[in-house]
Structure 1
């Protein structure tokens, strides 16, 4: 697809890591940067509050939330640190997550646990999974009277598994347990409605599957939970002499982190418009079909196995190369150096996975090239 700036000689099957920004979105990003540099004081001090509020309103509407419940953040790692540092968690209390969670966010809670004395519990979810109900039941085995917060991904990074987050949030609400969802891989890959998910806290990237510029993410906090969240970075939005006045304290505390380039945030509405125009249901389904073809074809090769059944993956799929006994870094280097294939090789629970992503620019030839490379490597 000509909209993307990707190098044409690379088979890019790793949209899941950092995304890829389409040309129209990138050009809008540069337009905002130019506008900022032409008159920085006017832009940051006088114009930014209104244009940022407009962008926040658009992304909130896109995700099924209220504008006063959403702030822009650089990435989900930032939001996870905010929750881990701010929630009043202490000795004897527990944060429950799966053993599939993204490393940086997991580390944020482990670091805070060392400081505050609470425990981080990683509940195993065995692969392959059988049903959403089986996932919920397996995960709920980790809940104890000490569980105060559940932190789980909507789509896991390491294993590309779609988790039934709405079911888990509903059950947690009945038990009086707070919930935070890491939706880094969800918006733009699947439809997201935060009101229906019902999490207390939700974070996501805009620069992955939404195709916005790098460094754009959102942090959603339900209005009745906002009093729990203190700013991770204290700046001009906090004190009596606050420079920026917003609709409520949550926005004042968290929206202005000091001088930075907000252009990535302001470009998100353009990325949303591009999504609606270009990433139609047919285009998404084609990408999913390509991933399914890749997984099905790869699993026919001796030493390679599929991991998930169709309902549990979308535009990211997983194949298991553990039986080939190849060191992950060596495998990743060979895929790129020999075949010009950019795909992550992941080590998880003593297993070696290759994660395959497909987007609008992915072609059948890309998948065929991957399968040919895997056959040669396995041979």
Structure 2
């Protein structure tokens, strides 16, 4: 599998979770669309791109469990969440209930809009180690008040790599009449996704992470009853269109002037690649490597796992608590000296060494990391035991 990817063979790449990695056949499809665009830009943009986009959306809709007219492509989840927030019309005193495990860019975005509106962003503490799903649910809902209007939650956390019980939270939120916004950036391609079953009001996920698409391919699903209220983040030709399509929602969101959409159009090739290479089996094998090594690294670093080592809480990533006063220096040392690409993630005053495992990885990669960490412990003071 490693030969199918464009990754530098000199680097032990254990950071798929940050930006993904694109296989050669998919990247070639990406370049093919770019060449077709440049061969006749006007004809491509005005005549062909809509048809290509329709095919891409139909394939993705089946993969993520919704219908094509209920979502649109975005470059990343940050743009998707900003699109939602712009249309929420928050008022002073309104509360957004979230967790203290959310992605930093999302925290910043909520803080920005809350400062504008006077609403409050509640980062409810989910304590570590997590011992059960019930613990997460109890701690999360203890932050609910009569002022809570919105639930915002990542399905898989970026820093701690934990799988959250999104289905249970969406179900209860619906009973309480709350709006649910789910950040599923790490979900598609890593664990099964069926948006219809989860039944959130809004859901964003990436294709360029675990689905292996070219960079800049994500989506935003919007439940039908919220589609008319969603203003476009970028106002363009689709607004009050002279030739409207079947959906004002899509007219507003999909027509943003000249932009590069080749990454979106690769979606059929992306899904073909996953199916042809039996990716569900490969993902299962990767999860097993994650499980088999987690306690081993915790023992080396004299820390404890932050959750039970099972598929209920972990996918193809694991975050190992690490005691260090120099996280940036440690990350740079791992890359510059040991040629290992791996993040040292900060969250709530703690640090985590997060490894990601995909089909191009093997046990050898984690053995390289283990040996490097042993050497750093023995020869530097960057890690406290």
Tell me the equivalent position of 1:223.
224
Normalising by structure 1, report the TM-score.
0.96
Please state how far the C-alpha of 1:54 moved relative to its aligned partner.
1.3
Residue 211 (structure 2) pairs with residue 210 (structure 1): yes
Please state how far the C-alpha of 1:25 moved relative to its aligned partner.
0.4
Normalising by structure 2, report the TM-score.
0.95
Q: Aligned runs of 1:183-198 on 2, under 5 Å?
A: 183-198=184-199
Please state how far the C-alpha of 1:50 moved relative to its aligned partner.
1.4
Residue 201 (structure 2) pairs with residue 200 (structure 1): yes
Quote the Cα distance in structure 2 between the aligned partners of 1:240 and 1:185: 35
Q: Aligned runs of 1:1-379 on 2, under 5 Å?
A: 1=1, 2-241=3-242, 245-311=244-310, 312-322=313-323, 325-379=324-378
Aligned length: 375
Please state how far the C-alpha of 1:240 moved relative to its aligned partner.
4.2
Quote the Cα distance in structure 2 between the aligned partners of 1:111 and 1:239: 29
CA contact (8 A) 2:154 2:182 kept: yes
Quote the Cα distance in structure 1 between the aligned partners of 2:326 and 2:246: 53
Please state how far the C-alpha of 1:293 moved relative to its aligned partner.
2.6
Residues 282-303 of structure 1, C-alpha deviation per residue, up to 9 Å, x if partnerless? Answer: 3112111221233122122143
Residues 201-235 of structure 1, C-alpha deviation per residue, up to 9 Å, x if partnerless? Answer: 00011100000010010000011221221111110
CA contact (8 A) 1:305 1:321 kept: no
CA RMSD across the alignment:
1.2
Quote the Cα distance in structure 2 between the aligned partners of 1:148 and 1:290: 40
Please state how far the C-alpha of 1:69 moved relative to its aligned partner.
0.3
Which piece of structure 1 moves more, 363-372 or 274-283? Answer: 274-283
> Which consecutive aligned stretches of 4+ in structure 1 deviate over 4 angstroms post-superposition?
none
Quote the Cα distance in structure 1 between the aligned partners of 2:345 and 2:301: 19
Alignment partner of 2:299: what SS?
Answer: coil
Quote the Cα distance in structure 2 between the aligned partners of 1:302 and 1:188: 30
Structure 1 unaligned regions, length at least 5: none
Please state how far the C-alpha of 1:133 moved relative to its aligned partner.
1.9
